[in-house]
Chain A
Amino acid sequence: MMPITDIPLQAYLVVAAILFCIGVWGLINSRNAVRVLMSIELMLNAVNLNMMAFSSYLDGAQVRGQVFAVFVITVAAAEAAVGLAILLSLYRNRDTVDMEQFNLLRW
């Protein structure tokens, strides 16, 4: 048994996996549209945590994972802005935030 010299990479990966699965569950099961957007933010953060862990543990002095994480943060900000604008527009049209009633394009 080797002595632990640092926090293992797998610990970060497991935490990110749990966070991602919580996000997926919330994305499927939320009926409030705002909560769906929050679940998407959780999933994006889980991916970011993976990238930062790989960047620190595998990439050494090249910090490419951090560069990708900054790009993910940018895209997430754009996604949140457009998503909330769509949500406001939907709320004006349907007068509800219940995901089950947003079925204009479903059938």
Chain B
Amino acid sequence: MGLALSTRIICFLLLSGALLLGALGVVLLPNVVYSAFLLGGVLLSMAGLYLLLNASFVAAAQVLVYVGAVNVLILFAIMLVNKREPLRPMRVLLLRRLLSVGVCLGLLALLVQVALTTPWALPGPASIGEAALTRIGEHFFTDYLLPFEVASVLLLMAMIGAIVLARRDVLARDVVTGEPADQALLERQRTPLLPSQDGSSPSVPSP
């Protein structure tokens, strides 16, 4: 990217700060709706970092897929299940939180240690500009063709799986007649609720 070094450093600091503060907000805020909106901010900051790393295509994909699809999906899920419930108190909750803070700090120390002590063989950041998009396309259709096709199958499976899982349960028993019902019965003519002409009760199915 053709920005000056100081501009890039300032952009990096601002974006990382927004990223980390937003991530802390996602995890720590009590209201889950605020968390979802902050998650959108985190994902946008991540797209900005991708732009700093000369990856404009992945930044666009990040904005489209994550902010446009995943975050909106999460917001819809929150709207569907947003029940204010008093959480049942747990005895060892504080101990568990402290223990997990310790574990996460240990993991962080390990990762930072590895990142800082490994002698990276750095050729330095190479910007190939718009040629990156061509290169990505070549990768997709030559040496990464199989993962590309498998990804499409995976998306199809995820779509069908999500539909099957989130489908509303069909009543196993017809409400009016009491007969066992299945999906084919959705098309069947229902027993009318009003008493018919000969005076038989509608709740008793005529055999």
Residues of A in contact with B (beta carbons under 8 Å apart): 4-7, 9-15, 17-26, 28-35, 37-39, 41-42, 45, 48-49, 52-53, 55-58, 60-64, 66-67, 69-71, 73-82, 84-89, 91-92, 95-98, 100-101
Interfacial chain A residues near B23, Cβ < 8 Å: 19, 22-23, 42
Do A34 and B100 touch (CB < 8 A)? no
Instruction: Tell me the complex Cα distance, A67–B145, Å.
Output: 11
**Residues of B contacting A: mostly:** helix
Interfacial chain B residues near A101, Cβ < 8 Å: 88
B166 contacts chain A at the CB level, 8 A cutoff: yes
Interfacial chain B residues near A33, Cβ < 8 Å: 81
Given contacts A35-B35, A39-B27, A45-B42, contact A19 B66 (CB under 8 A): no
Closest to A56 in B: B53
Given contacts A25-B101, A74-B155, A86-B165, contact A42 B26 (CB under 8 A): yes
Do B139 and A89 touch (CB < 8 A)? no
B176 contacts chain A at the CB level, 8 A cutoff: no
**Residues of A contacting B: mostly:** helix
Can you list 9 A-B contacts (CB < 8 A)?
Answer: A6-B124, A13-B112, A19-B20, A25-B101, A38-B74, A45-B46, A79-B158, A82-B158, A82-B162
Interfacial chain B residues near A92, Cβ < 8 Å: 168-169
Do A85 and B165 touch (CB < 8 A)? yes
Given contacts A87-B77, A96-B83, contact A11 B12 (CB under 8 A): yes
Do B165 and A15 touch (CB < 8 A)? no
Kindly identify which residue among B27, B144, B162 contacts A26, using a CB–CB cutoff of 8 Å: B27
Given contacts A6-B5, A14-B115, contact A81 B139 (CB under 8 A): no
* Interface 1/0 per residue, B149-166 and A, CB below 8 Å: 001001101110111111
Instruction: Tell me the complex Cα distance, A84–B140, Å.
Output: 29
Do B70 and A80 touch (CB < 8 A)? yes
Do B88 and A98 touch (CB < 8 A)? yes
